Amino acid sequence: MITTIQYKEENYQIDLSKPLDISIPLRADKSNLTAWYVDVPKFEPVVGDGFIGDVNQGGAVNFRNILFNPHGNGTHTECVGHISKENYTINQCLTEFFFLANVVSIIPKKLGEDSIVTLSQIENA
């Protein structure tokens, strides 16, 4: 489905049937992105009263608990609630869902045992 969006007197055509997924999937191993030294995500089957939520362990369905840290394990959208004393969530702050954006990929530089993104890398991108 093709749509045309006018933004600041410019027209943009968008094929809504071909979205771009820029997320990074969560993985329960060391290939998962981490920040601030958090552990990798954990995916564990729900277990109880003779039920096991894992077909590889004899269960009828896969039904898992997932433990992860949104700030340290993957991509996410942030809002003022990350730094305020008040409790704000992204769905309280983000009420429009289409944005004109320029998405860039930057490979972090090593600094000792850390990996960092520098201002100059962002400016050059």
d(CA 4, CA 20): 17
Read off the pLDDT band of 68 (50, 70, 90): very high
Q: What is the pLDDT of residues 14-38, one digit of tens each?
A: 999 998 888 888 999 999 988 888 9
Q: Which of 21, 16, 73 is nearest to 43 (CA)?
A: 73
**Which two structure tokens, joined as six digits, stand for 118?**
């520098």
Q: Summarize the confidence of residues 45-71 as an average pLDDT.
A: 95
Q: Per the confidence metrics, is the pTM higher than 0.75?
A: no
Tell me the domain boundaries of the chain.
Answer: 22-96
